Amino acid sequence: MNFKNIRKIVLTTPMVERVYHRLINPFIDAYIISFPKSGRTWIRMLLAQAISQEYGKKLNLDLYKMTWESDIPNIKTDPRTGNYAQFRGINFLGVKKMFKHKKIIFLVRNPKDVLVSYYYEWTKRRDLQYRGTLSAFIREDFTLPTIINFMNSWAKELEKRPQDVLLITYENLHNDPLKELQKTLKHLVISISDDNLRKAIALCSFENMQKMEKNNIFAGDHRLQAININDSDSFKMRKGKVDGYKEELSTGDLIYINGKLNTLNNVFNGLNYCK
């Protein structure tokens, strides 16, 4: 086991992770929150490219490293990424307190697409791989129930703190990235020209992102690193499609999922995720 693996294990130990994030939390102005496989890497790269274009910052997937010691608000992604299999709402390990008085970008995606992408994450990209079928996977306690609980927990924050929490959907970001980036940056109080936003969008096209992953541009960063360059399902940037679940889930699977999605908070009614 090399030093990087040891460091990763140590830093993701719940107690160590909790202390680390509490130490840096006072210096963070905004968080990007999402359930895994909802497009967080993409929006993070879009923002990183836009900041790099506008302010001449060196590109880095860790946004807080780009915004640290600058006039730009310090942005960080959700500190609980490694623990969603056990996630039971935003009070987990006192996380809710960490987000108090912070600007939040809450990114959501159709849970059906999340489930399919999450399945390939668990079967192609993890050391301890899931061995069951997709149909079995969507019925596990740590998949769909956890996604719904996560979304509903944050829906309450959306209702209580509309001035702090901005809802962005993967689908809208896919259909009109310029408009969604403009909304995001306005919420974060970051000024970036539309020309530089368009450049960032072009640089972060799915084809370019997958090419960067295949060519190992971010060597050493597992977040944008293909496990097997000959297997596209092992890529972080696997397909990048809206409604790609239709190619993967059976009629029975969809009936089961839609039945569960009826428990989603009314905040998400207009997103048509139950259809």
> pLDDT grade, residue 6 (50/70/90)?
low
Strands (DSSP E) contained in 102-259 are 103-108, 165-169
Residue 169, phi then psi, degrees to nearest 5: -105, 145
**pLDDT tens, residue by residue, 214-228:** 666 655 555 555 555
For the chain, what are the domain ranges? 3-271
- What count of residues does the chain have? 275
* Selection from 262, 255, 239, 265 nearest residue 108 by Cα: 265
Model confidence over 164-214: pLDDT tens digits? 999 999 999 999 999 999 999 999 999 999 999 999 999 988 888 777 766
- Contact at 8 Å (CB) between 31 and 19? no
pTM for this entry: 0.83
Class (C level, CATH) for 3-271: alpha beta
pLDDT, mean over the chain: 82
Q: How far is CA 147 from CA 93, 263, 272, in A?
A: 18, 11, 16
Per-residue pLDDT of 12-52, as tens digits, reads 566 666 677 777 888 899 999 999 899 998 999 999 999 99
How far, in Å, CA of 116 to CA of 267, rounded? 23
Label residues 104-130 b or e (16+ Cβ within 10 Å = b). bbbbbbbbbbbbbbbbbbbbbbeeeeb
- Hey, which bits of the chain come out as E strands? 30-34, 75-77, 103-108, 165-169
pLDDT band at 230 (very low <50, low <70, confident <90, very high): low
